[in-house]
Every structure is written in structure tokens, then in C-alpha cells.
Amino acid sequence: ETGVTQTPRHLVMGMTNKKSLKCEQHLGHNAMYWYKQSAKKPLELMFVYNFKEQTENNSVPSRFSPECPNSSHLFLHLHTLQPEDSALYLCASSPGDSGANVLTFGAGSRLTVL
């Protein structure tokens, strides 16, 4: 596999469920990101990891919990979400976290919270 792979592609969960989104990159990149894409709103950066260390948490509610066990894998653990959390969650990676770097995105995980 090449590029950035996200699983699952679609997820429906109740507000009391616990689920996780997974992201894997095969590009040898050192930085990984979670973005939230909602209709009619700009992409919102949620978290940045550089060399497995979290370097950015964009005031994300604690019901979203990221985990980066190594530079190739990134998880987003979901717990007691709200209906307004329904969105497309995009994972991305880049060689480093310099602003000049290009992001490579996965296809996204479409989350619906009932």
C-alpha cells in the first residue's frame, strides 16, 4: 500500500459508544495530522504530531483523544461524542511540520453520531 490509508471509511456510532479511527502512512513522513471537515466550514486542524510528539492541540474537546505510537500510525479515539461531531475526519502526513511542506491526505473517515 502507498500513500495515506484511513479506516474505517464510514462509521456510525451512538453518543455513548467508544470507537477509534486509524490512519497509516507509507511515505516515510515524520509529521501526521488530524483535520475535521464539516459542511460549509473551512478545514479545522485538530492535532499535529511531529516525530510522535504532539505539537499542536487546537483546543479540541477531550472526547477526542489522539494517539501516535510511531511515525507511521495515528489514531483518533472517540468517546461520548455529540451529533455536532458528525463530519469527515481527514488524516494527513508531511515530511516535517514546516509550513512549506505539502500535506498528503487520506480519503477520510465519514463519522455519523446518532
Distance of closest approach, residue 45 Cβ to other proteins, in angstroms: 7
Nearest CA to 36 among 101, 109, 114, 113?
109
102 touches other proteins by CB under 8 A: yes
Q: How far is CA 4 from CA 13, 42, 45, 85, in A?
A: 24, 21, 17, 23
Q: Which of 27, 56, 60, 73 binds other proteins (CB under 8 A)?
A: 56
Binding mask 5-44 for other proteins (x = CB under 8 A): -x------------------------x-x------xxxx-
Nearest CA to 11 among 83, 111, 93?
111
Dist. CA 38–CA 53, nearest whole Å: 26
Binding site for other proteins (CB under 8 A): 4, 6, 31, 33, 40-43, 45, 48, 55-56, 58, 90, 92, 94, 97-108
